[in-house]
Amino acid sequence: MSEDKYRKAARTIVKAGFLPLPINDTMIKLLKLMVNEEQLDFIMGFKRKTSQTMEELKKNTKMSEDEIKNNVKKLAKKGFLFNQPNSQGIMVYRLMPLIMVGAFEYTFMKKLQFSEENKEIADLFAQLFDELSDFIQTNYDTILPIFQRMPPFDRTIPIITNNIEGKEIQISINTELEIPEEKIVTTQNVKDLIEKFDEIAVGHCFCRHHQDLLSNPCKQTNLRENCFTFGKSARYVVEQGFGRRISKDEANILLKKSEEDGLVHKAWHPHSDISKAETSICNCCKCCCGIFDWWRQGSTAMINSTNYLSYIDKEKCIGCGTCMEKCPVDAIEGDDNNKAERNADWCIGCGVCAHFCPENAISLLEGRRTVFVPPPRLRD
């Protein structure tokens, strides 16, 4: 009976996200470690609607207000429940998925001790990611159209702005994707983005922290506490102990250090809608970032919104290979003359290549686009 309830709750949690996660023994083991059995009935109250008010929850869970608040308090502390008021001041309770963005991210955003339980949770998530890859590869032709219909997961904000060319880029875009409209104006300078918000919180990079617990530390940076949230997301992070409140000055210092280490600024928006204000910024490394890593492992497509495309001046390029080494998505290779050549279909416009180019041979061309690169097919 308990096993059956966990599987029903797992289905509800998976439906709260957009990744086609397999509901298997690994997921059930994870949930048993993170969620008490008495909380399963409450979770299943979100089966038909992910976000609900108190009155809706009373109707759908058949629980009293005190029972609901008790469940909310416990599940919010574990990153399974987001509880913040909407723009009308009405408290809304939203069930979070296991991954992107939910329990995985919030679990590893806070500083964890190297305990046996935390190590087991880290191992089970790693196992689940491997099994997700197997699931996607086994069902590749069926799942690829699902990825093609998805909006961008995140939005790249360039690491630099001093060498942006005032040119429109002309490249082909997959017409099946939901492309953001040109009229939407988004903040393209990370400093300007910080200035937009009065409430800023910082937590640990969940991807690097997860890898630390797997005894696989980052090869690119020693920075850990540089995952930012804004507005009501920042309030939630601080209230639940996933991070701490910081000033704009401290945020800018941490962002500058992130740029010095070649980390990529990736902004997240509610429901991947870039017309809405940003909720967070990740500062991603090449080796640990889940989005990059899951794509390479064949678990998901790379779907990214960007306003920029790198441009390489072949006359200035000396073929040193720095940009090839630094590019987080391997979008630059050497041509027949060993000079850098950029793959426009893969470039996410992060500016890392331009930032580190010793000859100043790389600039960024401007123009909104969506990058879509399917998961590699790893099986015949």
pLDDT at 1: 58
| Residues 141-167, mean pLDDT to the nearest whole number | 80
Is 366 in contact with 165 (CB distance < 8 Å)?
A: yes
341 to 335, 361, 376: CA distances (angstroms): 6, 12, 21
Hunting for tokens 């590019």 — which residue is that?
Answer: 327
pLDDT at 187: 65
pLDDT over 70 (residue 183): no
Is 312 in contact with 284 (CB distance < 8 Å)?
A: no
pLDDT over 60 (residue 174): no
Options 1.10.10.410, 1.10.3720.10, 2.30.30.170, 1.10.10.10; CATH of 2-138? 1.10.10.10
Cis peptide bond upstream of 101, omega within 30: yes
pLDDT at 177: 32
User: What average pLDDT is seen over the chain?
Assistant: 90
pLDDT over 80 (residue 168): no
- Tell me the torsion sign for CA atoms 133, 96, 144, 342: negative
pLDDT at 340: 96
Which 3 state secondary structure label does DSSP give 248?
Answer: helix
pLDDT (tens digit, 9 = 90+) per residue, 295-322? 999 999 999 999 999 999 999 999 999 9
Higher local confidence (pLDDT), 222 or 337:
222
Name the phi and psi angles at 266, rounded to 5. -125, 115
Q: Starting at the edge strand that comes first in sequence, how are the strands of the sheet with 280-284 ordered?
A: 164-168, 362-373, 302-312, 154-157, 264-268, 280-284, 227-230, 200-203, 244-246
With pLDDT > 70 as the criterion, what percentage of the chain qualifies? 92
pLDDT at 181: 38
pLDDT (tens digit, 9 = 90+) per residue, 75-105? 999 999 999 999 899 999 999 999 989 999 9
pLDDT at 160: 63
pLDDT at 305: 94
Q: Where are the domains of the chain?
A: 2-138, 142-373
Is 233 in contact with 244 (CB distance < 8 Å)?
A: no
pLDDT over 80 (residue 379): no
Ranking 17-21, 80-84, 167-171, 332-336 by mean pLDDT, the lowest is 167-171
pLDDT at 233: 96
- Core vs surface per residue 102-137: b (16+ CB within 10 A) or e: bbbbbbbbbebeeeeeeeebbebbbbbbebbbbbbb
pTM of the model: 0.89
pLDDT at 326: 95
pLDDT at 19: 86
Higher local confidence (pLDDT), 132 or 171:
132
Instruction: Write down the H helix ranges in 301-351.
Output: 322-326
- Give the model's confidence band at 178: pLDDT under 50 very low, under 70 low, under 90 confident, else very high: very low
| Residues 221-238, mean pLDDT to the nearest whole number | 96
Which 3 state secondary structure label does DSSP give 238?
Answer: helix
pLDDT at 18: 85
